[in-house]
Chains A and B, each alone.
Chain A
Amino acid sequence: MTTLLAVKEDPVKIDVPVRRPSRAWRVLGYLALGVASVGVLLPFYWMVMSSLKTNNEVFTVPVQWIATDPVWSNYAEIWRKSDMTTWLGNTVFLAAVVTFLQVLTGSFAAYGFAKIRFPGRDVLFLAYIGTLAVPWASYMVPQFVMMTKLQLTDTLWSIVALQAFGALGVFMMKQFYETIPDELLDAARIDGMNEYGIYRRIMLPLSVPALASLALITLVTTWNDYLGPLLYLRSPDLWTIQIGLKSFIGQYNAEYALIMTGSVLSVLPVVVIFLAGQRYFVEGVATTGLKG
């Protein structure tokens, strides 16, 4: 351990070849990953297959793993029968606004919690974590009454208000900022940079992987949230994809194939975003700042 710390203080450039696992290990690794993926993807596979069946082929005993005669028209039909475009539009709007606000205010507050010492800070932080420990069902109604007083119910802003200021983002970003050494900040302070400048010029660029993870998690949570929109968004033109889908299931409860089609469609955008964005939370920008 001491040698490691010494290295940190004395950044001598050491040339170590990039580690590559041996061939046998790699094959074994791929094999394990392959088997695991099958286990993980099976339900999703079933969902996709069911979306291509007729209603009566979905629940059969024993399970029918392949749609023998794929019914592609299900995908056109759900568009015709439901208000998918509106739902998607609302959900995209909410996901974007909530994610933006959560990441922005969350990381901003986290900087205050992690890097500035002031009285009452720890108590406040505990209050934040504390609210995570209370089940929503128990304060759902008082919260609903509050939102009604604020005239927010039955507007998309209610969901923004509900999701954007959660404790999760603050907690996550604070933990992340704590890994960034204080010396780095002190150096910047001596250079005359104020706290806001440090946040913007040093912390934000350094925390891209964490910001990306937080953004993705917030996005998925907002996308998949069911109870919140259920309680707050009553007008059909405000419905999100989850609410729309649920009510669709309620109305066409025997149309299993269409229900599965809807489920596939609701997941798809998230998958695309994940695939596109996943390199941001692994490809390290993290080490660059620490060298200086």
Chain B
Amino acid sequence: MTTMPVRRRRWRNTAVGWSFLLPNFAGFVILTLVPVGLLFYYAFTEWDVFGGATWTGLDNFRQMARDTSFWTALTNTFYYSVFHIPLTLGVSLALALLLNKKLRGVAFFRTVAFFPYITSIVAIAQIWNMLLSPGFGPVNEVLRWIGVDNPPGWTTSADWSMPAVILVGTWRDMGYYMLLFLAGLQTIPAQLHEAALVDGANPWQRFLAVTLPGLRPTTFFVTVLITINSFKVFDVILVMTDGGPGQSTLVLSQYIFQKGFEENQFGYASAVSIVLFAICFLVTIIQFVVNKRRSE
């Protein structure tokens, strides 16, 4: 193997590498990459989805610059993401650390933490809306009982609807990311923890010196995923508030659906998707670079 000329080895590596990718890649290209690629064409057209798209150059993007609803949706998307990303990251990591122990009943708690993710979104919306109902909801009953005279209107108030949605979003997603963190925690060799114990490190020091570095690939993966999914948030908002009251919880994904399927401006919707894509991609690349630098 060591005697193989460099060029031949490179060629061989390419062939072997592709042979690994191919089964997944074939399906991926045809069913995802090509339709997504088309989007980059449609973003520069006026398209009614049924047939001919007319090339309009940068018109869609110019329109976007003037479109106040687009900016509202963009701001709201950032509002949601800025809070939802660190919150979910923190909670799910904490849960994973807590539940990565051999304790009695831990299997039960792990399952419980995953429950919100598997419960149907319709039921979740129903129940959270009821819990947060301004007049009769248990949450506000409790708040009044502990002496809050004027409890928030939650999903029915323009100021509190976004916090309510963020809360429910985090509540729902935490089990999912906890699972990913749990898998990541298993990759950290137990010897490292043992060695740190021998060195006399306290739990916090062990967390910083062993757990965090060992989790880095997982953390990167989870962070990218949470980021992308936060910027793309759709279903929680749709069932909880439908973007309201007013436009207080209107987010980009919903705006894209509205423009496309309700108002039949698929070209414009594609252009907004490209912007959303660009934002996600940019943030991902920054995370990619930071991750690379840290791992060196």
Contact = CB atoms under 8 A, between A and B. Distances in A.
- Do A and B contact each other directly (Cβ–Cβ < 8 Å)? yes
B119 A43 contact: yes
B217 A216 contact: no
Contacts of A31: none
B269 interface: yes
Interface string B225-241: 10010011010000000
Contacts of B141: 62
A287 B111 contact: no
B87 interface: no
A108 B23 CA distance: 8
A47 B20 contact: no
Contact of B284 (A26, A124, A129): A129
Interface string B166-188: 00000100001001101111111
A16 B194 contact: yes
A139 B39 contact: yes
A117 B10 CA distance: 8
Given A14-B194, A224-B118, A267-B118, A112 B187 contact: no
Interface string A248-292: 010000000000100100110011001100110110111100110
A246 to B, nearest CB: 8
Interface in B229-276: 231-232, 234, 252-253, 256-257, 260-261, 266, 269-270, 272-273, 276
B179 A138 contact: no
Nearest to A189: B1
Interface stretch (A66-74, A75-83, A87-95, A159-167): A159-167
Contacts, number: 294
Interface in A21-65: 21, 26, 29-30, 32-33, 36-37, 39-44, 46-47, 59, 61-63
Contacts of B218: 175-176, 179
A133 B228 contact: yes
Interface string A87-121: 00000000000000000111011011100111101
Nearest to A34: B109
A116 B20 contact: yes
B1 to A, nearest CB: 7
A184 interface: no
A171 B218 CA distance: 10
Contact of A1 (B35, B209, B269): B209
Interface centre among B100, B122, B224, B257 (most CB of A within 10 A): B122
B277 A134 contact: yes
A249 B120 CA distance: 13
Interface string A152-176: 0000000001101111111110011
B30 interface: yes
A135 B179 contact: no
Give the secondary structure class of A's interface: helix
A135 B253 contact: yes
A217 B187 contact: no
Contacts of A19: 193, 197
B198 to A, nearest CB: 6
B116 interface: yes
A244 interface: no
B116 A43 contact: yes
A141 B260 CA distance: 10
A: contact size bracket: 35 or more
A175 B218 CA distance: 6
A209 B20 contact: no
Interface in B76-128: 98-101, 103, 105, 107, 109-124, 127-128
A116 B13 contact: yes
B119 A47 contact: yes
Contacts of B194: 14, 16
B127 A141 contact: no
Contact of B16 (A7, A116, A131): A116
Interface centre among B32, B191, B195, B221 (most CB of A within 10 A): B32
B32 A131 contact: yes
B112 A105 contact: no
B148 interface: no
A271 B187 contact: no
B280 interface: yes
B49 interface: yes
Contacts of A162: 31
Nearest to B168: A43
Nearest to B214: A179
Nearest to A171: B221
A106 B99 CA distance: 27
9 contacts: A3-B199, A16-B194, A26-B103, A109-B23, A142-B42, A147-B31, A195-B16, A213-B179, A290-B189
Interface of A: 1, 3-4, 7-8, 11, 14, 16, 19, 21, 26, 29-30, 32-33, 36-37, 39-44, 46-47, 59, 61-63, 104-106, 108-109, 111-113, 116-119, 121, 124, 127-135, 137-139, 141-143, 146-147, 150, 161-162, 164-172, 175-176, 178-180, 189-190, 195, 199, 209-210, 212-213, 216-217, 220, 223-224, 226, 242, 245, 249, 260, 263, 266-267, 270-271, 274-275, 278-279, 281-282, 284-287, 290-291
Given A263-B119, A274-B114, 6 more contacts: A4-B209, A116-B16, A135-B232, A175-B220, A178-B217, A282-B100
